[in-house]
A and B are shown apart, each in its own frame.
Chain A
């Protein structure tokens, strides 16, 4: 328990301490420590970079201009690095590096290596189950895609309207896709495997995307909804954007 006579307020306590820092008489900006000795007058720290007129010349170690005439040319001092500078550099380096590494580690921490998401690959039946030259909406409800069979290939078109994400409908009689939300229209089967599902009317900005197709081991068509292909990136020719099948 503190004695009732010992002051607990910081200001009162500080009055009882010795004064360790004194201002040099005359020049209010210079402390006594920095005016130590004529040769060290004008000495700057190791990190000092001359600005203004003095910038033209290099900061160098050497005698500095002082009142007692020992530096008539007025060279700017730059003392050699001291132990204090080294420790300061190491200290700041440690702090900044730990913050930097910590930030990077945190960002990596936010991306788990394993995700528990529903599988994106689905088997959608054998190629023979799809009639040649047809657009099948067998999987529209379950997987939100059309399976279209041309002469030489299959394509799987994603039934997501590129306007705002509704599910368009394929109108077989008019051979085009129409989105019920805002009337976006896309080309139908007759336009060919590359132009199929390309927007031609309404607010849709680009053609519908296609899913990656492959063949599973048991001969069924395997669609991978995790991989999409876009014509704007010239991806419709890439392997996987279609399944060659004669």
Chain B
């Protein structure tokens, strides 16, 4: 076999540094293709092979995938917005306006975040509707439906907590109405039934937990900010991990049983 001239890239590829990072070459064998996916931490999140029915868009709508894609977009745009947004009473609205009008590409980042949030809520409902319509909650997938409902709740809570962050009139009144519902909860709301059994009052009840006190104030904003950026996304991420794992283990996205 004639020795071909080794180009500079071939030299790089045969170096020790390269081989320590990329363990499998580009041979087009079935085994190599599988190894390349399964031994990569990012690629192995997907199965190495999928069934043909997984690509039937009329059946799956791809809404679960779209929801996840939107989640990733929201995370990335959210982190970008965090570079300029300060969750305090004096600066929140100002920083939002600053992002929109003074920061280069701030407008599109902020808008993508906001529109993406609305789209994710819609997508998550459509996904739930699709799963129901195709019977993809039936055994062995019942627990995955439970996790999915929890993810729905997490999505709605993310939307709710994020709505306060612009700190404009729309935000404050929406959160006022939302948290006022909390005070009517049985047992843990100070205006709900059985409030006297638990000894809750206006200062120590479920609503005060959310609003950090009796009024919607700067403390509420900070609390909602932490909930929105760290607490709920972490819970949602854990639930998503279980949700996707369950889909994989149950044989991939649902199709004919």
Q: Which residues of A contact B (CB under 8 A)?
A: 107, 110-112, 115-118, 226
Q: How far is the CA of A115 from the CA of B215 in the complex (A)?
A: 10
Q: Which residues of B contact A (CB under 8 A)?
A: 202-204, 208-209, 212-215, 217, 219
Q: Which residue of B lies closest to A114 (CB)?
A: B213
Chain A interface main SS type: loop
Q: Given the known inter-chain contacts A110-B209, A226-B214, please indicate yes or no for A116 contacting B204, CB distance below 8 A.
A: no
Determine the chain B residues whose CB is within 8 A of the CB of A117 once the complex forms: 213-215, 217
Q: Are A115 and B219 in contact (CB under 8 A)?
A: yes
Q: Is the beta-carbon distance between B209 and A116 smaller than 8 angstroms?
A: no
When the two chains form their complex, are residues A111 and B208 in contact, meaning their CB atoms are under 8 A apart?
yes
Identify the closest chain B residue to A108 (Cβ): B204
Number of A-B contacts (CB under 8 A): 24
Which of A111, A118, A226 interacts with B204 by CB under 8 Å? A111
Q: Which residues of A contact B209 (CB under 8 A)?
A: 107, 110-111
What's the minimum C-beta distance from A186 to chain B, rounded to whole angstroms? 20
- A22 shortest CB reach to chain B, Å: 30
Q: Which 5 A/B pairs are nearest by Cβ-Cβ distance?
A: A115-B213, A110-B209, A117-B215, A111-B204, A117-B213
20 contacts between A and B (CB under 8 A): A107-B209, A110-B209, A110-B212, A111-B204, A111-B208, A112-B212, A112-B213, A112-B219, A115-B203, A115-B212, A115-B213, A115-B214, A115-B219, A116-B217, A116-B219, A117-B213, A117-B214, A117-B217, A118-B215, A226-B202
Other A-B contacts than A107-B209, A117-B214, 15 sampled, CB-CB below 8 A, are A110-B212, A111-B209, A112-B212, A112-B213, A112-B219, A115-B203, A115-B212, A115-B213, A115-B219, A116-B217, A116-B219, A117-B213, A117-B215, A117-B217, A226-B202
Task: Give the chain A neighbours of B217 by CB distance below 8 A.
Answer: 116-117
Which residues of chain A are near B212, meaning CB under 8 Å? 110, 112, 115
Residues of B within 8 A of A115 (CB): 203, 212-214, 219
Q: How far is the CA of A110 from the CA of B212 in the complex (A)?
A: 7
Residues in A whose Cβ lies below 8 Å from that of B202: 226
A107 to B203, CA, bound (A): 14
Closest to B214 in A: A117
